[in-house]
Amino acid sequence: MVPTPPDGRAGIDAALVKRLVAAQFPRWSDLPVRPVEVDGWDNRTYRIGDALTARLPTAAGYVPAVAKENEWLPRLAPSLPFAVPPILGEGAPGEGYPFPWSVRGWLDGETAARERIDDMAQFAASVAEFIRALQRCDTTGGPLAGEHSWYRGASPAYYDEETRRCLAALDGRVDTDRAAAVWEAALAAEWRGAPVWFHGDIASGNLLVADGKLTAVIDFGTSGVGDPACDLVIAWGMFSGESREAFRRAVGQDEGTWARARGWLLWKCLLTLSGHIDTDPERAAFDRRLIAEVLDDHERFG
């Protein structure tokens, strides 16, 4: 996890964005600038008028995503069944802001909360359709999984030491014997296929819906070329019952990939649970539920 800058959000506000736009994109300098209603952690996003957005990294660790997205989103977009952010301008450091940034087209829609989705099984199949289309994209010259993707697309073994520390810390508070078996299965199921494109953070906050259906996928900061297992974590994070089964059928991955996906989810849930098990009962209950479901899934399919 990249720490937040000392000033909280790298000193980014609407006034800074207004100055950057005026200095570097004067054709848009008369447009109003305002923050988006729902923002992320890695970047700050501001509306520029009604049709544009400015996206600014909040820390140096998130900067590699700017050039990556600027280069690859326009190449990937024609092959994808749902919209992705259109890149309209590449901003440079300036006005006291130290990082590159970008101007993008605004995508209509709201984040994919369950109450905004008409049919969860159909939605799950649409997410799977996007993942499969992304995997079919040409990988020539694409960024291999590594530090820029926070090791999404690499082996979950990168987080082995951290996962084992969490298992030790949570011993007696979760079923660490069953959890360790899931983790060992994830490590044993090595990726042996040809590298494919992965998004790296397929989650409700990065999926946009309109009229109850998936319309766009955003935030490719952790994308790259490698093992697609990380893109299956949404099976537990958002789907359940019929929608989970619909996603599993439609996404069509082998059992080794599912084993690694269970490992990715287990690592993240153990990490977050160990941090707030005694301080945030609601979040702890959520993590415990996901851990229990992935343990059951391992015993059913593993």
- Per-residue pLDDT tens, the chain, 302 aa: give them: 333 333 335 589 999 999 999 999 999 999 999 999 877 778 999 999 999 999 999 999 999 999 999 999 999 999 999 999 999 999 999 999 999 999 999 999 999 999 999 999 999 999 999 999 999 999 999 999 999 999 999 999 999 999 999 999 999 999 999 999 999 999 999 999 999 999 999 999 999 999 999 999 999 999 999 999 999 999 999 999 999 999 999 999 999 999 999 999 999 999 999 999 999 999 999 999 999 999 999 999 97
Q: What residues form DSSP beta bridges with 207?
A: 217
Q: Do 206 and 61 lie in a common domain?
A: no
Q: Do 154 and 202 lie in a common domain?
A: yes
Residue 2 belongs to some domain of the structure: no
Q: Do 213 and 102 lie in a common domain?
A: no
Q: Do 256 and 133 lie in a common domain?
A: yes
Q: Do 219 and 280 lie in a common domain?
A: yes
Q: Are 70 and 103 in contact (CB under 8 A)?
A: no
Residue 4 belongs to some domain of the structure: no
Final residue belonging to a domain, choices 81, 107, 133 = 107
Residue 7 Rama label (left phi>0; alpha psi -120 to 50; beta): alpha
Q: 269: domain CATH number?
A: 3.90.1200.10
CA distance 291 to 179: 8
Cα of first residue to Cα of last residue in the chain, in angstroms, is 30
Q: What is the pTM of this model?
A: 0.93
Range of the domain at 284: 111-301
CA distance 69 to 220: 6
Tell me how many domains the chain contains: 2
Q: Do 60 and 115 lie in a common domain?
A: no
Q: Are 223 and 75 in contact (CB under 8 A)?
A: no
CA distance 276 to 186: 25
